[in-house]
Amino acid sequence: MRRMFCRKLAGTAVAFLACTALSPVLAQPFPSKPIRLIVPYSPGGLPDTVARALSVHLGKALGQTVFVENKPGAGGSISASVITQSPADGYNLLLTDGPLLTISPLINKSVTYNVQKDFAPVSLVGKAPLFLAVNAGVPAKTLDELIALAKAKPGKLNYGSSGIGGIHHLTAEAMKEALGLDIAHIPFKGSANSIPAMIGGEVDMAFASPPSLMGFVKSDKARLIAINSLKRSPLAPDVPTLAEKAPGFDFAFNVAVLARAGTPKDITDRIAAEIAKIVKQPEVVEQLQAAGVDPVGGSAEQLASALKSEGERLTAAAKRANLRPE
């Protein structure tokens, strides 16, 4: 309609002004079509669980379908390319954990994205802490006892991780330095392998998310010793934080929503405002906590600050672990 009107006005003195004035009137408000929520992991993991918990509520709030699309692989580059090759209009969003944004570029040469240049922060959805657990055969029942045991037997205790360079590995290495411990690292291919190894006594301890551990804790096959966040968890309020022994220790990772760099601020602010409301709904709080996420619902500015701080901590831990890109 606008084109036809402008053709009729062509050649008149008011053509340019009339057609320019129509632009904001005829522009479609956001959102006018479905929104993609890209997850850089396979279905079933923590980011995927969070994305699916958010998508239905966010779709209702925005009046459009929000669908989750899993794009795993290449250290996040596959999912990142979906965002960077799409228009900066808010219709393609990335839901990921902070470590993928920080660690992958440090250890994976195939990573093609630049977090600062390619993405615009949207929302700090929540923080995901990890518990340190030991198997039933480890004599230590408290954090103090575990520290004493490790110092009495330097190099004798070991921990399992989800793999070299992962958040579980870097958290443990940061803990070793902060507490002055000598504990060996045994890497596995994912938490699905490291946790059974810990329960079976192949390794003494491991960091893991609450859903991976709580069943074993209830059956007395594992004990929670500490948590890697600044605050204690409502899931286990008696379990101390590592920060109580090493002030400032914080390796709970961020769960974030980002858009392509250049996305209009009014769009990212609207999405952030809706997410902030959604993560306060009792039903969603329950879903997120069951997945091991403490809801936050922070703004773009809060997310940018949180990612910067997290990146600094993880980069320092990666250097201490002598990680190199491969």
Question: Is residue 274 predicted with pLDDT exceeding 80?
Answer: yes
Question: Is residue 182 predicted with pLDDT exceeding 50?
Answer: yes
E strand or H helix that includes residue 131: strand 131-135
Phi, psi values for residue 242, rounded to 5°: -65, -25
Q: Are 93 and 257 in contact (CB under 8 A)?
A: yes
**DSSP assignments along 45-68, one per residue:** SHHHHHHHHHHHHHHHHHTS-EEE
Q: Are 65 and 96 in contact (CB under 8 A)?
A: no
The chain-wide mean pLDDT, for the chain, equals 90
User: Amino acid identity of 9?
Assistant: L
pLDDT of residue 27: 61
Question: Is residue 87 predicted with pLDDT exceeding 50?
Answer: yes
How far apart CA 94 and CA 261 sit, in angstroms, is: 12
CB atoms within 10 A of CB 44: 9
How far apart CA 205 and CA 131 sit, in angstroms, is: 10
Mean per-residue pLDDT, 223-248 = 96
Least confident interval from 131-135, 225-229, 290-294 = 290-294
* pLDDT higher at 62 or 104: 62
Q: Are 173 and 180 in contact (CB under 8 A)?
A: no
DSSP letter at 96?
E
Distance of CA 126 to the CA centre of its chain: 8
Confidence of residue 32 (pLDDT cuts 50, 70, 90): very high
Mean per-residue pLDDT, 53-65 = 96
With H, G, I as helix, E, B as strand and everything else as coil, classify residue 55.
helix
Q: Are 264 and 102 in contact (CB under 8 A)?
A: no
Q: Are 181 and 147 in contact (CB under 8 A)?
A: yes
Question: Is residue 10 predicted with pLDDT exceeding 60?
Answer: no
User: Amino acid identity of 72?
Assistant: P
Tens digit of each residue's pLDDT (9 = 90 or more) over 315-324:
999 988 888 7
pLDDT of residue 300: 96
Question: Is residue 92 predicted with pLDDT exceeding 80?
Answer: yes
Q: Are 128 and 296 in contact (CB under 8 A)?
A: no
DSSP letter at 74?
G
Distance of CA 235 to the CA centre of its chain: 19
Extract long-range pairs of 82-85: CB within 8 Å, 24+ residues apart: 82/36, 82/38, 83/38, 83/118, 83/119, 83/258, 83/259, 83/260, 84/113, 84/118, 84/260
User: Amino acid identity of 309?
Assistant: S
Q: Are 99 and 253 in contact (CB under 8 A)?
A: yes
pLDDT of residue 44: 85
pLDDT of residue 321: 87
Predicted TM-score (pTM) of this structure: 0.86
Confidence of residue 174 (pLDDT cuts 50, 70, 90): very high
Confidence of residue 105 (pLDDT cuts 50, 70, 90): confident
Mean per-residue pLDDT, 159-174 = 93
Question: Is residue 216 predicted with pLDDT exceeding 70?
Answer: yes
With H, G, I as helix, E, B as strand and everything else as coil, classify residue 88.
coil
How far apart CA 109 and CA 74 sit, in angstroms, is: 9
Q: Are 299 and 271 in contact (CB under 8 A)?
A: no
User: Amino acid identity of 306?
Assistant: A
pLDDT of residue 28: 77
Q: Give the chain's domains with CATH numbers.
A: 1-27 (no CATH), 35-128+253-320 (3.40.190.150), 131-244 (3.40.190.10)
pLDDT of residue 167: 92
Tens digit of each residue's pLDDT (9 = 90 or more) over 119-159:
999 999 999 999 999 999 999 999 999 999 999 999 999 99
Question: How many degrees, rounded to 5, is the angle at CA 301 between CA 295 and CA 307?
Answer: 70
